[in-house]
């Protein structure tokens, strides 16, 4: 006689392992988001973003518009876009 083997993913060991790994990284992420290190990193990022010198280069302004309309940007952008269109 032929025996039917139930091989569903829901009851497999692989699902338990994958779920355990995902839950571990979720807990690790929540610990980091609520930690002092994350608060310090976020504060430093906000300070740098709001600074006059660095903010000038990263904000959408004259320098950013100049860069987007430059030939160098168009060449670099074209190198990445042309192969993806094929």
Residue 31 counted as domain residue: yes
pTM above 0.75, yes or no: no
Share of the chain above pLDDT 90, in %: 13
Residue 5 counted as domain residue: no
44 and 22 in a single domain? The answer is: yes
Residue 4 counted as domain residue: no
Share of the chain above pLDDT 70, in %: 74
Residue 7 counted as domain residue: no
44 and 62 in a single domain? The answer is: no
Task: Give the domain range for residue 18.
Answer: 12-50
pLDDT band of 57, cuts 50, 70, 90: low
- Secondary structure (H, E, C), the chain: CCCCCCCCCCCCHHHHHHHHHHHHHHHHHHHHHCCHHHHHHHHHHHHHHCCHHHHHHHCCCHHHHHHHCCHHHHHHHHHHHHHHHC
Domains identified in the chain, total number:
2
Residue 3 counted as domain residue: no
46 and 18 in a single domain? The answer is: yes
């Amino acid at each position: 006689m032929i025996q039917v083997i139930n091989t569903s993913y829901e009851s497999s060991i692989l699902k338990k392992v994958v779920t355990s790994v995902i839950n571990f990284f979720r807990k690790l992420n929540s610990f980091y988001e609520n930690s002092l290190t994350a608060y310090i990193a976020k504060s430093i990022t906000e300070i740098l973003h709001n600074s006059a010198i660095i903010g000038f280069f990263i904000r959408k302004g004259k320098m950013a518009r100049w860069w987007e309309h430059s030939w160098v940007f168009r060449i670099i952008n074209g190198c990445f876009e042309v192969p993806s269109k094929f």
